[in-house]
Amino acid sequence: MNAKTQETSALVIIAMIVLVGAGQSQQSTKEIIKSPAPQSQPTNCANPTWPPHAIVAKYPPNAKPGFNSPEEVTALLEQRWLLADVRKFAIPERRHNYTYQNLVLDTPEAWAGRLYCDIATGFDSIEWYATVENGRVKEYSLQARRGKDFWLLEIGNQASVRKPPKVEPDFRAPYFVGHK
């Protein structure tokens, strides 16, 4: 081989090395881009804040909506209260007036859970707790919290869920803080 052919061969080999290396680099970049980003655990999946001794629903609720388990109640309330409805209800004027009583636990057993645990809601929590009698919910309380703000969305039972929730009640009602 003459000097010119050796020089050309060396250049071709170097070019091939560079091209193969660049191709591998692009492939690695594509693989990195296609790889799913690690999922962080949503912050609103912590156990409900009240009551401390409640049996807590496991999320996600794979159960059908109902009153026979904490998971069923979570599913029922997520179906009943769409996230858009919670946001519509939770305006400053409808914050809960603390001179009005929330649900009192009058049974030895209580259940609790959080709604929309798997998505960002804009709230610190949307949670419920319930009195339980004979393995079924007797009454439940559903509330939303954001910072120091608290909204009591509803206190309900098996009969009350037959009617749609009151998503936009009059904020001048005495159980809301109104424009104060």
Distance CA(170)–CA(153), nearest Å, equals 13
Supply the DSSP symbol for 162: G
Domain that holds residue 20: 1-35
pLDDT of residue 49: 78
Highest mean pLDDT among 44-48, 50-54, 139-143: 139-143
Reported as a single tens digit per residue, the pLDDT across 83-111 is: 999 999 999 999 999 999 999 999 999 99
The residue-averaged pLDDT of 164-168 equals: 98
Mean pLDDT of 16-45: 41
Q: Are residues 56 and 125 in the same domain?
A: yes
Token code pair at residue 179:
């424009």
Asked whether residue 167 is domain-assigned, the answer is: no
Q: How far apart are CA 151 and CA 132, in angstroms?
A: 23
Q: Do residues 72 and 11 share a domain?
A: no
Retrieve residue 26's tokens: 């692009």
158 shares its domain with 73: yes
| Prediction pTM value | 0.74
30 and 53 assigned to the same domain: no
| pLDDT value, residue 58 | 87
User: Which is it for the CA torsion 140, 77, 72, 123, positive or negative?
Assistant: negative
Give the pLDDT mean for 10-18. Answer: 46
Task: Report residue 7's pLDDT band, with 50, 70 and 90 as the boundaries.
Answer: low
Of 15-29, 36-50, 148-162, give the lowest mean pLDDT range: 15-29
Q: In what order do the strands lie in the sheet with 136-146?
A: 55-56, 109-114, 125-133, 136-146, 149-156
Contact 133, 68 (CB under 8 A): no
Transcribe 135-160 into DSSP letters: TEEEEEEEEEEETTEEEEEEEE-TTG
CA distances from 48 to 30, 74, 100, 115, 160 (A): 41, 12, 21, 10, 23
